[in-house]
Amino acid sequence: MESVIEFFTSNKDIIFIVILMIFVGVEVIGNVPAVLHTPLMSGANAIHGVVIIGAILVMLDSEPTNYLALSLGFLAVLLGTLNVVGGFVVTDRMLEMFKKKK
């Protein structure tokens, strides 16, 4: 109990941010029409590609000689990039059809 409260206190801002972010996430897409379900999912998919930042940080912090870390890190950055680039581009293509024909 003690430790939970302690954890809470030391991270209170982060926790606050998380909670607010959850509200924002939910509110922001609250009125999405069904036709946008797939593009929205795809766009959200691209956004969580932000995990690539973690992969970059891993690499930046690695020893230039730690080959295992470097190769795994390389892979991680590559995959993360795929997620980001592929995600945004595919979303954009899906959304092309919303252009008014005339």
Partner 1 sequence: MNIEIIHIVYLIASVTFILGLKMLSNPKTARRGNLIAAGGMIAAIVGTILLREEPVSPIIYSLIFGAIILGTIIGWLTAKKVQMTKMPELVSLFNGMGGACAALIGLIEFPNIAAHFPGKLGVVLAGMLIGSVSFSGSMIAWAKLNGTLKNAIRLPKYNILNTVILVGLVGYAVYIVFAQDYSLTHLYLLFTLSLVYGVLFVLPIGGADMPVVISLLNSFTGLAAAFGGFLYDNQVMLTGGILVGSAGTLLTLVMCKAMNRPLYSVVFGAFGEAASSSTSNGPQGNVTEISASDLAVQMNYSSKVLIVPGYGLAVAQAQHVVKELETLLEERGVEVAYAIHPVAGRMPGHMNVLLAESNVDYDKLKEMEDVNPEFAQTDVVLVVGANDVVNPAAKTDPNSPIFGMPILEVENAKSIVVNKRSMNAGYAGIQNELFFKDKTNMLFGDAKKVLSELVNELKNLD
Residues 53-82 that bind partner 1 (CB under 8 A): 53-60, 62, 64, 68-70, 72-82
State the helix-helix crossing angle for 2-10 and 12-28, rounded to 10 degrees. Answer: 70
Cβ within 8 Å of residue 48, ≥6 positions away: 83
Work out how close the CB of 57 gets to a second copy at its nearest, in angstroms, rounded to a whole number.
18
**28 interacts with a second copy by CB under 8 A:** yes
Cα three-residue angle 15-17-19, rounded to 5 degrees = 70
| Nearest distance, CB of residue 43 and a second copy, angstroms | 17
What is the distance between the alpha carbons of residues 67 and 59, in angstroms, rounded to a whole number? 11
Residue 30 near a second copy by CB under 8 A: yes
Can you give the binding site for a second copy, defined by CB under 8 A?
Answer: 13-14, 16-17, 20-21, 23-24, 27-28, 30-31
